[in-house]
DNA sequence: GATCCAGTCTGTATCGATACAGAGACTAAC
DNA sequence: GTTAGTCTCTGTATCGATACAGACTGGATC
């Protein structure tokens, strides 16, 4: 059994409080006594105040939670998520705070429990899928949080960092529309929860539940509406999982058709890279010329020559953590919109004359 | 103020214990009473048992620490570290355990404090630099840990997962030696702490303090010793920081020399990619033909055509976490050596005839 | 009708620390 | 010589839960 603070106090012959002060408030006791106490502690093998007990008494933990509404192991395969984490890490580092990554079990009840049981002072919520229930639990716990996806019900006092998804997506689509493309596919993850991979017909973009996906699809649609291509004329493709293979599989059927789309607008770079994979996998003679755009501008995008919309990933994580760790006095400052930029590379070009 | 368990007990008119049981041991009370209690809790806005208090009383936390003996933000830029984290995440997920990433402040005293204060049940230690002090703190706390770098002083009962660094490095060097290379540079991070970037003269490989680096360099040297090239004939280059730019900068001077090395053996893929960057940055006419090998086989290595030594990154993380989370009864099973493989790609070739 | 037992619930001790008010001792000031 | 003020240190209450032993109830068993 490890000695406790009491044991050290007994050994030195002082009160528990004094030993506690020796560690946490050195100005409250003489330097010599402090040395005596620390020496005794060393001799007894006392490892310093128990972090859990300390947290309980002090009322805070000294770590922030990062919540991915997806498998934790997935988070590390998504380059955007990794950059986001790096940003959170930078801010955490600066504040001397630890980051708790909370894995969510598949069942919602278990997942609620996981969020309830996390010993943290607040959460950065990185939304992959529908996250309302998670925010509910956090609110219930009375913990502060920062969310990173626009939500429909965001309270005024709730902190947020993100981008204007719709406008950003629109810029990419406008670029593609400007190149003359009219037969276009929109590729997204989690268009409808539970829907199978592949083409999907939706009456309107409003049917998409996930706000981020909806925002991006709406932006794509906006730009095409402007050149006279309506929602119904766009091919919507679902690629559950947001991975390169998932995207490749989801788009494959479409590429086989007699008149494949001349452009694919993807909701993320990972999906777009999957489309490029699918194209590269075919023999050159039956490889259609397809313009492809992504979203995020992850490091891999540059190497692949992918036209994409850049959003500052690390910045997003850093700011999320900072909004959490020292909240701005002004409520309006708790709502941050980051800039985006269209990055045109080689993956988009004019419509080929057939 | 959030209500406590006591408040719920008072509201329902039962004892604190019973409310506690309603959450943690449903079999200890009747289903109807349990429902009544949970209802009351909902109404009062009781968020469930306080995780910190629960941890204190139960004696464990339900999360494991991941310790990088470097900046946390760095960890996310190193692709190998990211894969390692993914592996830890997979295991943590399976066990319903959270991962605490502990950032270490630059000053050692502060860093010790950070390790002392982490509320975790154990540590996976990913060693970047010298980590002895960290292990000391963990031992002092009486916490279990798994380390991932071979150490000189590993206790028999201490768990470990890693590779035979020396043999693995030797395989890469033997390949290069077999191609005829004799004028060779060895490039490594943290050859000597505090040493500047660039060539460095060491009497022997024993002078390198970091065990992983030492092991790899020793393996390189082994293979060349076998073909009659001694340690003194090898050019050792220090690249502090383990980043592509750092490696490019460290190697640049060497490439400018009248007789640059015909091969560079790097201690990691990141460094090797940096060397390729440095080569690519020169105009083709004064770009020497240099064979380059890496170490790790990170995802980027394949795309760059880098010859490298593959070690299973995710596996390493996963096994580290599993050794921690359910320790094998047999002490010997707590010491895992993973297989490695030489992956030959286009970055190595025969010595050019000058 | 006494005994036993399973099923429920209660009460007290405890996990390991920190906060805060206050007690002594000692110096400085008037 | 008193008052005030500083420095140190102590003691008690408290953070919010869980463990464990025991009390009570009602039905089954002999």
Buried residues in B32-54 as b, exposed as e (16+ CB within 10 A): eebebbbebbeebebbbbbbbbb
Q: Give strand pairing partners of B82.
A: none
Tokens of B167: 């043999």
Spans in chain A with pLDDT lower than 70: 128-130, 150-156, 354
Give the model's pLDDT for residue A152. 61
Residues from chain A contacting residue B89 (CB–CB below 8 Å): 72-73, 75-76, 101, 103
**In the structure, how far is the CA atom of residue B32 from the C1' atom of nucleotide C7, in angstroms?**
14
B170 to A237, B215, B315: CA distances (angstroms): 49, 10, 22
pLDDT tens, A241-264? 889 999 999 999 999 999 999 999
Q: Pick the residue of A23, A26, A55 with the most B CBs within 10 A to test the interface with B by mutation.
A: A55
From B167, B161, B137, B154, select the one nearest B342 (Cα to Cα).
B167
Give the model's pLDDT for residue B265. 98
Three-state SS for chain A is: CCCCHHHHHHHHCCCHHHHHHHHHCHHHCCHHHHHHHHHHHHHHCCCCCCHHHHHHHHCCCCEEEEEECCCHHHHCCCHHHHHHHHHHHHHHHHHCCEEEEECCCCCHHHHHHHHHHCCCCCEEEECCCCCHHHHHHHHHHCCCEEECCCCCCCCCCCEEEEECHHHHHHHHHHHHHHCCCCCEEEEECCCCCCCCCEEECCCCHHHCCCHHHHHHHHHHHHHHHHCCCCHHHCEEEECCCCCHHHHHHHHHHHHHCCCCCCEEEECCHHHHHHHHHHHHCCCHHHCCCCEEECCECCHHHHHHCCEEEECCHHHHHHHHHHHHHCCCCCHHHHEEEECCEEECCCCCCCCCCC
Q: Phi and psi for B126 in degrees, rounded to 5?
A: -105, 115
Half-sphere exposure of B296 (CA within 13 A, CB side): 25
Helix, strand or coil for residue B129? coil
**Nearest residue for D10, CA–C1':** A15
**In the structure, how far is the CA atom of residue B58 from the C1' atom of nucleotide C9, in angstroms?**
21
Give the model's pLDDT for residue B354. 64
| Alpha-carbon Rg for chain A in angstroms | 26
**In the structure, how far is the CA atom of residue B1 from the C1' atom of nucleotide C21, in angstroms?**
24
Q: Pick the residue of B75, B98, B318 with the most A CBs within 10 A to test the interface with A by mutation.
A: B98
| CB proximity B140–strand C (7 Å threshold) | no
Residues from chain B contacting residue A140 (CB–CB below 8 Å): 45, 47
As ranges, strand D nucleotides with an atom below 7 A of a protein CB are: 7-12, 14-21
From A183, A202, A182, A184, select the one nearest A192 (Cα to Cα).
A202
| B307: enclosing H helix or E strand | none
Q: Of the candidates B48, B73, B142, which has its C-beta nearest A93's C-beta?
A: B73
Judge: B119–A47 Cβ closer than 8 Å, yes or no: no
Q: Of the candidates B52, B97, B303, which has its C-beta nearest A55's C-beta?
A: B52
Residue B144 contacts residue B122 (beta carbons within 8 Å): yes
d(CA B216, CA B163): 11
Strand D contacting residues by CB (7 Å): A 13-18, 21, 27-30, 33-34, 53, 56-57, 59; B 2, 4-6, 16-17, 20, 23-25, 48-50, 53-54, 56-58
Give the model's pLDDT for residue A155. 64
Give the model's pLDDT for residue A169. 98
Which domains occur in chain A, in start order?
5-58 (1.10.260.40), 63-164+313-338 (3.40.50.2300), 165-312 (3.40.50.2300)
d(CA A8, CA A33): 13
Q: Work out the minimum CA distance from A305 to partner chain B, whole angstroms.
A: 14
d(CA A274, CA A304): 11
Average pLDDT, rounded, for chain B:
93
Buried residues in B113-144 as b, exposed as e (16+ CB within 10 A): bbbbbbbbbbbbbbbbbebeebbebbebbebb
Across the A:B interface, residue pairs with CB atoms under 8 Å apart total 139
| CB-based contacts of A103, cutoff 8 Å, min separation 6 | A71, A72, A114, B89, B92, B93, B96, B97, B98, B99
Spans in chain B with pLDDT lower than 50: none
Residues from chain B contacting residue A101 (CB–CB below 8 Å): 89, 92, 98-101
Judge: B141–A54 Cβ closer than 8 Å, yes or no: no
Give the model's pLDDT for residue A193. 86
d(CA A299, CA B222): 37
Give the model's pLDDT for residue A68. 86
Give the model's pLDDT for residue B14. 95
Judge: A100–B98 Cβ closer than 8 Å, yes or no: yes
Give the model's pLDDT for residue A156. 66
Q: Phi and psi for A294 in degrees, rounded to 5?
A: -115, -160
As ranges, strand C nucleotides with an atom below 7 A of a protein CB are: 7-12, 14-21
Judge: B75–A89 Cβ closer than 8 Å, yes or no: yes
Total residues belonging to chain B = 354
Sign of CA dihedral B285, B291, B295, B298: positive
Place of tokens 């006279």: A228
- Inter-axis angle of helices A16-24 and A31-44, to 10 degrees? 100
Give the model's pLDDT for residue A2. 86
Residues from chain B contacting residue A93 (CB–CB below 8 Å): 71-73, 103, 105
Q: Give strand pairing partners of A125.
A: A67, A147
From A147, A171, A127, A190, select the one nearest A295 (Cα to Cα).
A171
Judge: B72–A53 Cβ closer than 8 Å, yes or no: no
Q: Phi and psi for B85 in degrees, rounded to 5?
A: -60, -40
């Amino acid at each position: 059994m490890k000695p406790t603070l009491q044991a050290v106090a007994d050994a030195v012959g002082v009160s528990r409080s004094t030993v506690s002060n020796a560690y946490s408030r050195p100005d409250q006791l003489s330097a010599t006594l402090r040395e005596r106490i620390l020496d005794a502690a060393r001799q007894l093998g006392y490892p310093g105040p128990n972090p859990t007990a300390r947290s309980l008494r002090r009322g805070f933990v000294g770590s922030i939670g990062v919540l991915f509404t997806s498998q934790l192991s997935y988070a590390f395969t998504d380059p955007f998520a990794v950059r986001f984490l790096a940003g959170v890490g930078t801010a955490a580092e600066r504040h001397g705070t630890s980051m708790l990554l909370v894995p969510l079990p598949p069942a919602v009840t278990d997942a609620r429990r996981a969020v309830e049981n996390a010993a943290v002072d607040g959460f950065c919520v990185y939304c992959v899928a529908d996250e309302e229930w998670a925010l509910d639990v956090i609110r219930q716990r009375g913990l502060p949080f920062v969310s990173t996806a626009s939500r429909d019900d965001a309270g005024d006092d709730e902190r947020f960092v993100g981008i204007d998804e719709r406008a950003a997506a629109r810029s990419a689509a406008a670029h593609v529309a400007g190149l003359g493309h009219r037969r276009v596919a929109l590729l997204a993850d989690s268009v409808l929860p539970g829907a199978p991979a592949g083409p999907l017909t939706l009456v309107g973009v409003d049917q998409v539940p996930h706000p981020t996906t909806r925002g991006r699809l709406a932006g794509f649609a906006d730009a095409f509406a402007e050149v006279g291509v309506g929602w119904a004329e766009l091919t919507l493709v679902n690629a559950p999982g947001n991975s390169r293979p998932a995207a490749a599989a989801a788009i494959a059927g479409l590429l086989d058709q007699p008149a494949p789309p001349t452009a694919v607008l993807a909701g993320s770079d990972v999906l777009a890279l999957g489309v490029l994979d699918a194209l590269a996998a075919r023999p050159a003679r039956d490889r259609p010329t397809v313009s492809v755009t992504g979203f995020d501008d992850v490091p891999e995008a540059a190497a692949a020559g992918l036209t994409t919309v850049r959003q500052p990933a690390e910045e997003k994580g850093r700011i999320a953590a900072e909004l959490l760790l020292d909240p701005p006095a002004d409520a309006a400052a708790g709502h941050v919109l980051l800039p985006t930029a269209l990055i045109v590379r080689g993956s988009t070009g004019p419509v080929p004359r057939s």
